[in-house]
Structure 1
Amino acid sequence: MDRDEQTKRSDISLNKGSVWGLIIAITLIWGYAWVLMKASLDHMGPFTFSSFRFGTGALTLLLIVWIARLGLPPKRYIKHLIIIGFLQTTVVFTLVMFALMFVDAGKSSVLLYSMPLWSSLLAVKFLGEHLSRWKIAGLISGMLGLLTILGWDIWLGQNIEVIIGEILIIISAISWGIANIYYRLNVSDLPKLQSSAFQMLFGVLGIFIATLVMESGQPIIFNTESIYYILFTGVLASALCFTVWYVIMSTVDMVTATISTLLVPMFGLILSSLLLNEELTIGVITGSTLILVGIVLSQITYDKKRTEHR
């Protein structure tokens, strides 16, 4: 037994370089996906693109589930997966894609990745988790960051559509946070790959309905660029990256895995500035820094507490 444990530990230590390579790769892909999501609006409506993206992603994940022989989830989970799909996929990405018509991609990624802050607040109410002083400090820092990003625009006389778009993205982050809590309460014992595949399937059905209602008959431009956007965000950013993410979560500790997601908005801001010529204003930089500091503080204290109980 001891030798087996030593072998496993040595395997993990030998694979650390590969694991971090995967972390950087998927967060870079997720950050780059924000650029493509914004660029896709030149070819089709926001809901139409989300339908193509998550339809492709769901089919890819279902194929992986079939190959892995996981099968259908038990009937008792179906209702919960529908609710999670609605909150995590339908609500989040219909609102985000609509907001991207008015809000820069880099700023949008920062606002959406305020999700861990909302999850922490909701965890206190519904999971009975305790807010330490450091976690409270992290939440305050994150909230100040949100107010800095929004307040800067208001004081500069920003277009009301931009402000509304930013608020919609914050609502998306809250919806994502609610989905996380609901998952912990109802679906946490289901295989993660299976739950991800079926929540995405149910979620994309909601996006299809929104597309039919809001964008039926609107023009769609299919060319090399738009097909590339759909395949990249659907197969790589949605299906493949989430599959790799589960591998990472089973290999490294939760602190490392969670903190690594902070690279996503950073890559989103940098790539949006480089590829879309979006301006990195003082307000965005200051607010983004405060949000990232807040997320780091809240997640580190949370994981340390979990580790102590183990």
Structure 2
Amino acid sequence: MSKTRTTSLTNLLQNKFILWPMILMVTIIWGYSFVMMKDAHNYMGPFTFASARFLVGSLTLLVLVLILKIGLPPKKYWKHLIIVGILQTTIVYLCIMYALRFVDAGKSGIILYSMPMWSTIFAAKFLGEKGTPAKYIGLTAAMLGLLTILGTDMWHGENVIGELLIVAGAISWGCANVYYRFHLGELPKIQSSAFQMLFGTIGILLATIITEWNTPIAWTGTSIYYVLFTGILASALCFTVWFVILGLVDMVTATISMMLVPVFGLVLSIVLLGEKLTVSVSIGSILIISGIMIANVKKRYVRLHKGIRKNPNKVSSH
């Protein structure tokens, strides 16, 4: 691997005047991508768009892997990369793209980003991570938020199947996170991201061939822009920058930053698509986002407090 290029990017992002604008840029792009995924239905089938997006994204990442001279992952990891690709790319984006035919973009982002809640549940079950009171409070709040959104729509008989598909995508994403930590934690993140995305894209392509072979495609300036933006920027560039950012900030900051994505998605979908913000979505969004933040912030406070008690004279200044 070319350590010089990676180190240069890391050194650049260590400057706080660059780091925080980059975090903001990544979350805005990811939030904006929900608007594009929703509007893309006007130009092509949902699976066709997902295929085009991730084909562009995976090829871009593979070129980056080639430039950085990272090379192929060892053969023992290939089956795990295929499984993560199916869980994190194929299932998640087949569910979300199909569901966007019925569900608003803003609401979709909120439901999908309940993923940290599912990751925490699976990590406790399969990785043996112990729960804390704050974590359980946060999970309860997030679950109530999800039920607020789903329950209200279920009561009115609106978009329930689409929303349940997004929940299935969030659960699959949570499974992928735990599986990745268990089996692929030793691989370079850019390498694992590139190859899992490649294998996941193959799964989406198969679904597209089976279900949308004769579906018309309107290749216009707008549709091409959507594919290139979500493929190169939202998928390849943002994932690469985000992996570097994860090495520079703590997990609390990373989790809270990630929760900006559905917020931006919700705001941009209202502004650009004219979607309406309902009371149930507002309450559910607040509960989901605050619940995830409570679980993470409180956990960091407890670790910091314990560290000060053990080393009272060791206080860092900034």
**TM-score, length-scaled by structure 2:** 0.90
Cα drift, residue 158 of structure 1: 3.2
2-structure distance, mates of 1:202, 1:133: 39
Of 224, 247, 250, the match for 1:253: 250
Cα drift, residue 28 of structure 1: 0.2
Does residue 116 in structure 1 map to residue 113 in structure 2? no
1:278 and 1:131, CA in 2 relative to 1: closer, same or farther beyond 3 A?
same
Does residue 158 in structure 1 map to residue 169 in structure 2? no
Letter in 2 for 1:183: Y
1:55 and 1:14, CA in 2 relative to 1: closer, same or farther beyond 3 A?
closer
Q: Residues 41-64 of structure 1: CA distance to partner in whole angstroms, max 9, x if unpaired?
A: 000000000000000000000000
Aligned 8 A contact 1:85 1:203 in 2? yes
1:39 and 1:201, CA in 2 relative to 1: closer, same or farther beyond 3 A?
same
Letter in 2 for 1:158: G
2-structure distance, mates of 1:57, 1:299: 30
Cα drift, residue 229 of structure 1: 0.3
Aligned 8 A contact 1:116 1:299 in 2? no
Letter in 1 for 2:200: G
2-structure distance, mates of 1:29, 1:87: 23
1:81 and 1:305, CA in 2 relative to 1: closer, same or farther beyond 3 A?
farther
Aligned residue pairs, count = 297
Aligned 8 A contact 2:145 2:283 in 1? yes
Q: Residues 211-253 of structure 1: CA distance to partner in whole angstroms, max 9, x if unpaired?
A: 0011011100001000000000000000000011012112222
1:87-166 aligned within 5 A: 87-155=87-155, 157-159=156-158, 162-166=159-163
Aligned to 2:172: 175
1:276-291 aligned within 5 A: 276-291=273-288
Cα drift, residue 300 of structure 1: 2.6
For 1:247, what is the secondary structure of its paired residue? helix
Aligned to 1:82: 82
Cα drift, residue 15 of structure 1: 1.0
Q: Residues 183-225 of structure 1: CA distance to partner in whole angstroms, max 9, x if unpaired?
A: 0100001000000000000000000000001101110000100
Gaps of 5+ in 2: 1-10, 308-318
1:12 and 1:202, CA in 2 relative to 1: closer, same or farther beyond 3 A?
closer
1:188 and 1:111, CA in 2 relative to 1: closer, same or farther beyond 3 A?
same
2-structure distance, mates of 1:171, 1:303: 29
Letter in 2 for 1:22: M
Single out whichever of 291-300 and 192-201 deviates more from structure 2.
291-300
Does residue 41 in structure 1 map to residue 41 in structure 2? yes
Gaps of 5+ in 1: 1-10
Cα drift, residue 17 of structure 1: 2.1
Aligned 8 A contact 1:60 1:239 in 2? yes
Letter in 1 for 2:160: I
Aligned 8 A contact 1:142 1:292 in 2? yes
Q: Residues 53-96 of structure 1: CA distance to partner in whole angstroms, max 9, x if unpaired?
A: 00000000000000000000000000000000000000000010
Aligned 8 A contact 1:120 1:298 in 2? no
2-structure distance, mates of 1:72, 1:215: 32
Aligned 8 A contact 2:14 2:248 in 1? no
For 2:71, what is the secondary structure of its paired residue? coil
Identity of aligned residues (%): 56
Cα drift, residue 303 of structure 1: 4.8
Aligned to 1:234: 231
Aligned to 2:198: 201
1:72 and 1:12, CA in 2 relative to 1: closer, same or farther beyond 3 A?
closer
**TM-score, length-scaled by structure 1:** 0.92
Letter in 1 for 2:157: Q
2-structure distance, mates of 1:47, 1:291: 28
Aligned 8 A contact 1:99 1:166 in 2? yes
Q: What is the RMSD of the two structures over their aligned residues, measured on CA atoms?
A: 1.7
Cα drift, residue 12 of structure 1: 8.9
